[in-house]
Amino acid sequence: MVKTDNSIRYKLEQREIDTLSEFATKSRFSKGRKEKEEPCSLRTDFQRDRDRILHSKAFRRLKHKTQVFLSPFDDHFRTRLTHTLEVSQIGRTIARALDFNEDLVEAIALGHDLGHTPFGHCGEGVLNELVKGGFHHNIQSVRVVEVLENLNLCSETIDGILTHTWGYTPKTPEAQIVQLADKIAYINHDIEDSIRAGIISESDLPKDCIDYFSSIQSQRLNKMINEIVSNSVGKPNVAMSEEGWHYTTKLRQWMFENVYEDSSPAKLEERKARNVIRELFFLYCDMLKPVCEENKIERIVTDYISGMTDRYAVEKFKENFIPKGLQSGAKEDYLFKLAKIY
């Protein structure tokens, strides 16, 4: 007698098989995890991956990591966490429209920047200079989920996290979606943040790009998403239309030249931020020399610093490099003196 699986998970897996595109990645046929586990009765493997990432410590730290603007006073500027959530939202919209696996897209999107450094790409650049073999946040994100937090994710999720940056070829259409959603998200929200900061204005944006996409944020974003969906319906691969991609990459290049470049007002504090990362790196390497094998020091320090939030890195710099005045035992004496006067 054949034993049947009546779990909710099995029904969800069957729903994927029955309703998703023939090219979608189905959780029942996942290549699996490095360490075998008993399946969850309520969730598919990709849903389980998503939940593990969401509950990880590295995910929580994203709220205090820079997207573009370092430690902005205005709470409306994006952080690495809000960027991640926007990538997830865009990715899920595309996946749902194309009948690809939303759960896998969401898991990849939520995990794609877990390995990002404090101070955004500025911090990444410093570690890339200091570490033998270089440093890349996508590779570090994989290290976070595989080693530092040992989330034991499915191979499809790990592949999507690794390949979300250019220069990599995703193995699934869901990972292709996140690769595109990441670019769409940061181009659009960085334009909005740069306008809010007074670095650029709407009228500065390339006219042909605005004529094609619109100067209105929501309409521009919607147009980019539609350019992907309409060009990918019924196909095994996900890509933006040729014309849409032309204007998207032109707008991205314009942002690099006017916002992301070193002379931009958005980058004025980065020289200080680079110094924070550099000095902490050398400090911690020296601290570990008496207690650790030399060939392990750089790896340990890289993991430690890349996991820091902006404010934690600044506090550690202050703690180690900024002199402190003598502190008296009773800090509130004057408060009580005032109480006696009144």
Task: Check: CB of residue 84 under 8 Å from CB of residue 30.
Answer: no
Topology (CATH) of 16-24+37-179+266-270: Hypothetical protein af1432 (1.10.3210)
pLDDT digits (tens, 9 = 90+) for 126-139: 999 999 999 999 99
Q: Which residues contact 84 (CB under 8 A, 6 or more apart)?
A: 59, 62, 109, 110, 112, 113
Domain extents in the chain:
16-24+37-179+266-270
**Adjacent-strand bridge partners of 79:** 66
Walk along the chain (342 residues) and give the pLDDT tens digit of each residue. Answer: 445 688 999 999 999 999 999 999 999 999 999 999 999 999 999 999 999 999 999 999 999 999 988 766 678 899 999 999 999 999 999 999 999 999 999 999 999 999 999 999 999 999 999 999 999 999 999 999 999 999 999 999 999 999 999 899 999 999 999 999 999 999 999 999 999 989 999 999 999 999 999 989 999 999 999 999 999 999 999 999 999 999 999 999 999 999 987 767 767 788 999 999 999 999 999 999 999 999 999 999 999 999 999 999 999 999 999 998 766 655 556 666 666 666
- C-alpha R_g of the chain: 23
CB 276 within 8 A of CB 313: yes
Planar angle of CA 58, 59, 60, nearest 5 degrees = 95
DSSP track, 102-137: HHHHHHHHHHTTTTPPTTHHHHHHHHHHHSTT---H
Query: Are the CB atoms for 313 and 119 separated by under 8 Å?
Result: yes
- What tens digit of pLDDT does each residue of 238-261 get? 999 999 999 999 999 999 999 987
Residue 53, SS3?
helix
- Res 2: pLDDT: 42
Residues constituting the chain: 342
Measured CA to CA, the distance from residue 211 to residue 204 in angstroms comes to: 13
Other C-beta atoms lying within 10 Å of the C-beta of residue 341 = 5
Rounded distance between C-alpha atoms, residue 14 and residue 83, angstroms: 32
d(CA 260, CA 2): 60
- Close Cβ partners of 309 (under 8 Å, ≥ 6 residues apart): 61, 63, 64, 65, 118
Find the helix packing angle between 217-232 and 173-196, rounded to 10°: 170
Q: Are 206 and 251 in contact (CB under 8 A)?
A: yes
CA distance 276 to 250: 33
Helix (H, G, I), strand (E, B) or coil at 219: helix
C-alpha to C-alpha distance for 327 and 150, rounded to whole angstroms: 42
Per-residue pLDDT of 184-195, as tens digits, reads 999 999 999 999
Q: What is the full DSSP assignment across 275-321?
A: HHHHHHHHHHHHHHTTTS-HHHHHHHHHHHHHT--HHHHHHHHHHHH
Output the six-digit token pair for 223.
């147009």
Residues 324, 320: Cα–Cα separation, whole Å: 10
